[in-house]
Structure 1
Amino acid sequence: MTSTSTSTTSTPPTTTHTAPDDETLAARFRPIFDRIAAGASERERTHTLPTAEIRELAAAGFGALRVPVEHGGAGATLPQLFRLLTELAAADSNIPQALRGHFALVEDRLVGRSGERARWLDRFGRGEIAGNSWTEVGAVQVGDVITKVTPQPDGTFRISGQKYYSTGSIFADWIDTYAERTDTGERVIAIVDAHQDGVTHGDDWDGFGQQTTGSGTSTFVDARVEADAVTLFDDRFKYQTAFYQGVLLAVLAGSVLAAEREVALAVRTRNRVFSHGNADTFAADPQILQVVGEVSAAGFAATAIVDRAAEALQAAYEGAALDEAEDERRNDRAELATAQAQVALTSLATQATSHLFDALAASGVSTTKNLDRHWRNARTAGSHNPWVFKARIVGDHAVNGAQPPRVWAIGATRAR
């Protein structure tokens, strides 16, 4: 299928520089992560969106981690990106999820088969942030798209429609939007300027976890879209669904690491003991230490799972410069790896963030401590793209060699 927009085709780049050192790269952001962690519980308690925190990260170059150095970024690898996303999730798991659409659009501008590459990478290198707006609102059937883009005589487009789960768009300068062209019926990606009349965002996500991701409703009413900001969906980077899932894996792993940090602190500083316990202090009680150790071990396993998935994603990224057969094989492997990771990590994270309470007494469930947010956040992140379907897909591959699907949709059931 050929695009009828004015977008220009780009060739996936080759690496022209050495990736930055892990510790040097992380040192740029860890002081910010510490400040983010200090306010995370209170932001959730008061439902304060992390707008200032996201802007501080952007100003420090966090959103440009994957952007090549020549465009103002760090040129980080995907394993480096996902390690830092996991660290950020340990500080506040809402923020990496709010940036999920941003990093996906950066990745698409790096390797997508169409679209103006340099201009967008320059924008991201300057600290501009993108949001996500894909899921249709209402009784739209599976596969249908009711958000429309209409070409204008001057070569630009106008977009109208409404999207739910528009994660990160409330913080964004640009909104990565899935739509349909009214003239050709082609499914396209429209990158919409968020700062214009005709674009509104609602903070109406009502989940019991991940409450400050800004994952509400975005509405477009005849909003303007530049000519080079409309590209074919089929030209999107091939490992996008695996990439999106990878960010959720980082959210889950970070939730476990945060739970480990806070339960260890609670045990270390607890003064009261039980007469039927095993030591004079909670911090010396072997049964309590066992529970904390099990939560810590879950955090270790979670980060290892994210690393393995990120390695598969890096291989898929590098596959764009190889022959088509190898490229397809690597993309299938990335999809499978993130599905396997999701099945394993969803259970691991939700159990660990619940198990932390076994190391605490009744005071541990105090709403003031807000320790339950780690379970609620993990349970919410684990509910995206239901893992039960992924488990069946993984099993079908193991038994029958079936390749996992890379694109899926949600909507009302079509009449049978």
Structure 2
Amino acid sequence: MSLLVTETHYDTLAAHFRPVFARIAQGAVEREHVRTLPHQPITWLKEAGFGTVRVPKDKGGWGASLPQLFQLLIELAEADSNLPQALRAHFAFVEDRLNQPDSPERDGWFRRFIDGELVGSGWTEIGAVKLGDVITRVTPGEAGWTLNGEKFYSTGTLFADWIDVYARRNDNQGDVIALVNTHQPGVTREDDWDGFGQRLTGSGTTRFANAHVEQEHVYDFATRFRYQTAFYQHVLLATLAGIGRAVARDGAQSVAARKRVYSHGNAGAARQDAQLLQVIGEITSLAFAVEATVIRATHSLQSAYVAHVSSDEAQIVAANVLAEAEAGQAQVIASELVTRAATELFNALGASDTRVSKALDRHWRNARTVSSHNPVVYKARDIGDWKVNGTAPTSIWQIGAGEG
């Protein structure tokens, strides 16, 4: 059976990683200016064992609960919001392994994580792919599987040793997850993500040309952990909450350091101006509300994880529905309040703070980009349908060309 991971001591866990987060924060603005991918910060996190936060203690990891993992990701996102998203696929695959029965194969993955190996993402296809179709294909052979295709939004792949690829079997047309090693000629990764925000997440195009996949590294998609969609959303929620904290931090520091004042202001120093203090108080409260909402929602996600070992199917379904619904509700709140805070920030500052050198605009750009991943309007509709009609929120969905 699966070994449940419930919690560790959060203060000890966070104290271990906070010095790394501080180093990451020091270089965040410079990386944004010159568009330097965070290979070095990823290395620091690997060396500190960050990829093993959810791995059970008796397997060599930290044994953190899901609320603890996401609280830690919020702290990391405050330092640099690109990094939690870059590690999104890694933590999702760790979670999937935790939901599987104990086995030598699962222990092998835990050992790889302890050695610092990371997993990236290869799910979404763009271009002329029809809704519901999967162009990326795996073909079985005597020496393993052969993978061919192309993915975009390949978050984290530029830093990864493995890619979690959603593909279709050529033999029986079944949908599978193939874990492909990136250290081979058949895998090509490009840094061609050109979004206006979250520019350093290691996303972009990944191509597979007769890439080799080990026989035991192809998994039936139907066995994937059931709360995966809510889990993926929670990484984005933690990223938004961290951006909110960064907005409040930068706003407070900027007002405290500001020397220039307006003749029609309220004090001889910006730090004493009641209206500017009000703005900082408001954006700090918005950030607080988002973080509180996100952390509240992580507890239903933990309940879904605990429920997976139950023999009561009704209990499992109810836990997963609640986890999806609460993730959706948190998304509605976070998407609105963090972008509002990132805009309101400038009401406490001056024109000089819009200079590119300060990169304060990155907070809004990053928050807006994260909020665009899974359309919030559909989440709000799902929540309304759930509350009014008892309809379970959408948990598995695809994107592709429509009929028009």
Give the TM-score band, short-chain normalised: over 0.9
- Is 1:413 the counterpart of 2:395? The answer is no
Return closer, same or farther for 1:36/1:349 CA change in 2, 3 Å cut-off. same
Q: Which of 332, 353, 356 pairs up with 2:321?
A: 332
Q: Which of 387, 390, 403 pairs up with 2:376?
A: 387
Distance 1:305 1:14 in 2: 25
Q: How far does the alpha carbon of each residue in 1:274-318 deviate from its partner, in whole angstroms, 9 at most, with x for none?
A: 110001100000000000011111111111111112111100000
Q: Which amino acid aligns with 1:282?
A: A
Aligned partner of residue 368 in structure 1, secondary structure: helix
Q: Which of 2, 12, 23 pairs up with 1:35?
A: 23
Determine the structure 1 residue equivalent to 2:93.
105
Determine the structure 1 residue equivalent to 2:3.
13
- Is 1:52 the counterpart of 2:17? The answer is no
Distance 1:129 1:280 in 2: 52
Identity of aligned residues (%): 54
Q: Which of 342, 350, 362 pairs up with 2:351?
A: 362
Aligned partner of residue 70 in structure 1, secondary structure: helix
Q: How far does the alpha carbon of each residue in 1:370-393 deviate from its partner, in whole angstroms, 9 at most, with x for none?
A: 100000000000001110010000
Q: Which of 206, 231, 241 pairs up with 2:229?
A: 241
Q: Which amino acid aligns with 2:352?
A: S
Q: How far does the alpha carbon of each residue in 1:144-188 deviate from its partner, in whole angstroms, 9 at most, with x for none?
A: 00000000123x101000000000001000100000010111000
Contact kept in structure 2, 1:114 and 1:232, CA below 8 Å: no
Contact kept in structure 1, 2:3 and 2:102, CA below 8 Å: no
Displacement of 1:124: 1.0
Q: Which amino acid aligns with 1:409?
A: Q
Distance 1:403 1:12 in 2: 26
Aligned partner of residue 29 in structure 1, secondary structure: helix
Q: How far does the alpha carbon of each residue in 1:71-128 deviate from its partner, in whole angstroms, 9 at most, with x for none?
A: 2210000000000000000000000000000000000011047993111112112211
Distance 1:38 1:135 in 2: 33
Displacement of 1:44: 1.0
- Is 1:26 the counterpart of 2:17? The answer is no
Q: Which amino acid aligns with 1:19?
A: E
Determine the structure 1 residue equivalent to 2:52.
64
Determine the structure 1 residue equivalent to 2:278.
290
Q: Which of 199, 219, 225 pairs up with 2:207?
A: 219
Determine the structure 1 residue equivalent to 2:108.
119
Q: Which amino acid aligns with 2:35?
A: H
Determine the structure 2 residue equivalent to 1:196.
184
- Is 1:187 the counterpart of 2:156? The answer is no
Displacement of 1:42: 0.9
Q: How far does the alpha carbon of each residue in 1:230-260 deviate from its partner, in whole angstroms, 9 at most, with x for none?
A: 0011110000000000000011111110111
Distance 1:76 1:129 in 2: 18
Contact kept in structure 1, 2:2 and 2:102, CA below 8 Å: no
Contact kept in structure 2, 1:113 and 1:235, CA below 8 Å: no
Determine the structure 2 residue equivalent to 1:352.
341
Distance 2:335 2:78 in 1: 16
Distance 1:36 1:382 in 2: 23
Contact kept in structure 2, 1:133 and 1:166, CA below 8 Å: yes
Determine the structure 2 residue equivalent to 1:263.
251
Distance 2:331 2:213 in 1: 35
Which segment drifts farther, 113-122 or 133-142? 113-122
Distance 1:271 1:344 in 2: 35
Determine the structure 2 residue equivalent to 1:92.
80
Determine the structure 2 residue equivalent to 1:133.
122
Distance 2:384 2:293 in 1: 18
Displacement of 1:13: 2.0
Displacement of 1:14: 3.3
Distance 1:55 1:397 in 2: 43
Contact kept in structure 2, 1:114 and 1:235, CA below 8 Å: no
Displacement of 1:344: 1.0
Distance 1:340 1:113 in 2: 31
Distance 1:40 1:113 in 2: 40
TM-score with structure 2 setting the length:
0.98
Contact kept in structure 2, 1:99 and 1:131, CA below 8 Å: yes
Aligned partner of residue 49 in structure 1, secondary structure: coil
Contact kept in structure 2, 1:72 and 1:126, CA below 8 Å: no
Q: Please list every run of 5 or more consecutive structure 2 residues that lacks an aligned counterpart in the other structure.
A: none
Displacement of 1:19: 2.8
Distance 1:14 1:162 in 2: 36
Distance 2:203 2:343 in 1: 25
Distance 1:113 1:202 in 2: 35
- Is 1:77 the counterpart of 2:65? The answer is yes
Contact kept in structure 1, 2:131 and 2:400, CA below 8 Å: yes
Determine the structure 1 residue equivalent to 2:297.
309
Aligned partner of residue 356 in structure 2, secondary structure: coil
Contact kept in structure 2, 1:63 and 1:102, CA below 8 Å: yes
Displacement of 1:70: 2.1
| Coordinate RMSD, CA, aligned | 1.2
Distance 1:237 1:55 in 2: 28
TM-score with structure 1 setting the length:
0.95
